Amino acid sequence: MAAPVATERLRLTARSAVGAVALLGLTLAFLGLVAASRRVLGWMAAAAAIAGILHPLVAAVGRRLPRGLAVAVVVLTTLATVGITAWQVVDDVREQTDRLRTSAPEAARRIERDDGPVADLARESKLAERTQRFVDEVPERLRGGTPAQALRSAATRGVAYLATGILSIFFLLHGPKLAAGVARQIRDPDYRARLERVAGAAFTRGFGYARGTLAMALLAGVSAYAVASTADVPGAAPLGLWVALWDAVPYFGAVLGALPIVVLGGVGNPEQGVTLALVFVAYELVETFVLQRRLERRTVRVGPFLTSAGAFAGLELYGLGGAVLAVLAVAVAVAALDELAPA
């Protein structure tokens, strides 16, 4: 006769019940605190990203100047460069956006009037109506909603820019000391040395990937602007900016971002549309097999899935800035995991 199998019983004591309730309460309180502090956390993340991207410049200038003066030189030079570029580009973007608002609905109506499956699909999806509605909403979207909403949005952005700028300068000045202070909290010298090695490599490789991605996006935007201007496509400046934003997604981002240029350039001139499509496909191939691979060899290979997932998640949470921060966070995380993986 087989011996009876002993069974274990879960005993819930008053102490464990109180501990579980307390843990649940602390978890909910922490989540509420994070939700309430999301804006401030976003400022800190943006400031840390800006400081990380500018750190090599500060380090290079800091070899000849004191660190405080090096930070001042880099920050002022960056602000001047961004300000001059924006001042020269903003009027062009506004003028060409107005031209695009007129040309895009007309191009959609011409597609609907044509024959063939594409025209049938355009009519069924009400392409002209949707395009007209979208371009009519562009000015309101650019200024942040109604005039009252735009004023509130401008005030909020002003505070955000000021806070982010101050935090960025703080991280540039004291970031290395903060990192060293965190490392000194670990008493085991072997573990501390390994952590410093992994964190340093992840920082260098992750931010190197981010800087390379931004440089390729800028190159893609300028190239798209040049191609659209040569082909006399309306709205070359905003369309080039659109291509630059999409180019952050490797392997196919530039082609997807260039679709409006191809469509607008091909309406009424199919041969030009095909030529534009071939030009952007060729550019994507060069970027993917030459520039992207060279960047990944020097930094870290992230891949299109993680980049796209991170970008869309960040876009949903914080908008365009959140997408950039999410891609940066993914690159740093992948670099850290790569450093931790056994050789």
Dmax (CA) of the chain: 93
Whole-angstrom CA distances from 59 to 41, 80, 165, 328 are 26, 20, 19, 20
Distance of alpha carbon 251 from alpha carbon 123, whole angstroms = 32
Full-model pTM: 0.70
Which tokens sit at 271? Answer: 């041969």
User: Would you give per-residue pLDDT tens digits along the chain (343 residues)?
Assistant: 555 555 555 566 777 777 777 887 887 776 676 666 677 777 888 888 888 889 889 989 988 889 889 999 999 999 888 888 777 666 666 666 667 677 777 777 877 777 777 677 777 777 777 777 776 666 555 554 455 554 565 556 777 788 888 888 999 888 888 888 888 888 888 888 888 888 888 888 988 998 898 899 999 999 999 999 899 888 788 888 889 888 877 777 888 889 889 988 887 788 888 999 999 999 999 998 899 889 988 998 887 778 777 777 777 666 667 777 888 888 888 888 888 876 5
Look up residue 279 and give its two tokens.
Answer: 């030009």
Using CA atoms, how far apart are residues 163 and 157, in angstroms rounded to an integer? 10
pLDDT reported for residue 278 = 94
